Every structure is written in C-alpha cells, then in structure tokens.
Amino acid sequence: MPSAALRVDLREVAGAAVLAPTGVLDAASYGQLRTLLVKAATNEPRAVIVDLDGLAVPDRAALALFSSVSDQLADWPGVPLLLAVERPGQRALLDGYRLARFVPIHPSVLAAVAAVDAPAVRRIARRKLPNSLASAAIARRFVLDVCRQWPVAMRVQDAMIIANELVENTLLHTYCAPSLRLELRRGLLTVAVYDDDPAPARLIEPEAETLCHRGLVLVSELSRVWGCSPTPSGGKVVWAVLKA
C-alpha cells in the first residue's frame, strides 16, 4: 500500500484522543502522522493513544516518531502518549525496536485508557487580544495580573517578556488577532499564543547591532523549551515553558 494512502481515524475514548492510522509509515508519511499526533494533543485530552494494528512499518527506524512525539508532548501541552497493539506480529516489531523503553505499550486501546494517570492539576487563564499594536501591552498586563495570583513571582518578568514577543511576532507576521493562554502545571509556567495562520514560527537570528525585536531569539533564551505546534482549527500555537 503506498504511503499516500495513509489514513488516520480519530475518536475519543474516556477523554483520550485515539488515533488509528492505516497504511504505511515511511519517509513520505512520517511528517503527516507526526502533525496529526501533535494536533490531537493541542486540544488537551487526557492522553493521546495510537492504535498501531493497522500500520505497516517497513523500516522499524521510523518508529522513532513515537518517542520523539512523546518527548515533545511531555514538554507541552503535558499530555502523555501511549501505544496500543493487539496483533502479536506488530508487538514483536515494537519489541524488536525496544520502543517500550520510551513509550508505554498496551495490549489494547481500553488497556491504554485504563493506564492513563489522573491529569496533573492545571491553572489556566486565557485572554483574546485584538489585532492591534495595543495587544502587546494588554498581554503584559494580563500576565502580571495572573502571575500575582499564582505562585510564580520569580518568573513574572520573564513571562511578560515572552508574552510580549510572541504577541508582537503574531502582529508582525500575520493578519490575525492573537489569543494568549497561561498555564501553571507541576511547577512549569507556559505562555502560549494562538493565531489562525498555519505558517510555522521560525527563529531568525537578528543583526548584531539590533537591540529590539529579537522575537523568538529572546523567547528561546528565557524559556526552558519552546515550540510551534499546528492546531486542529488550521492555525498554530507558539508556546514557551518556564520553570515556575
């Protein structure tokens, strides 16, 4: 079956997003499946579970996809990735690659759902912003007000700078009205800005003499980890995680 025929069915089971890919996982379909897994996680389900029984993997090195995505989802949005395999031959393939060292593997989707831990306690605050130069100032004030209520006093200035840069980046490079989201989870503070433009955010090194508009370079320097993820609506979210 050609990789172009890769199909991924998505359903919800007990609050978890279950994806069932059918077809071939290879160099041509690797990026497609990765994008779909990340998109499913941005809706913040209890977990993302992949039913692998319908997926052919000619080169088992492609299974590295799942450990890579698992690491990314652990950083943000803090959603676990689990695999479900019923077919003995398929499980032997995963065992041969020793994938269970990196991603939990369960004998069925229901077993994977049952194994999902209770989600971490999260504090979440959201603010929709106008497509206006005033949005950056509104974002900074919103971060300050929220962080005064949360136990993150030592990182307030960093969070304000990151929110400012992400919002300005949206205003400079898109025609969208940004949406700001703050989250506190397990000692990690996340600043995320959503927009409706699918073009991924790119880190571009500024000129040596440039002292302002450092954008994602500054975000990278201040955060523990940052990234850009596609959203199910067709846009993107650019996020940065700080230790609170």
Domains and CATH numbers, the chain: 3-115 (3.30.750.24), 122-243 (3.30.565.10)
Strands (E), 40-132: 48-51, 55-56, 81-84, 105-106, 122-128
pLDDT given for residue 119 in this prediction: 77
- Average pLDDT per consecutive 10 residues, the chain (244 residues; last block may be shorter): 73 97 96 96 95 96 96 94 95 93 96 89 95 96 95 89 96 95 93 96 67 77 95 96 87
User: Which 3 state secondary structure label does DSSP give 138?
Assistant: helix
pLDDT given for residue 41 in this prediction: 96
Q: Which of 67, 81, 92 is nearest to 19 (CA)?
A: 81
pLDDT given for residue 3 in this prediction: 46
pLDDT given for residue 4 in this prediction: 52
| Residue 169 CB-density burial (10 A; 0-12 exposed, 13-18 middle, 19+ buried) | buried
pTM for the structure as a whole = 0.87
- C-alpha dihedral over 137, 204, 244, 68, to 10 degrees? 140
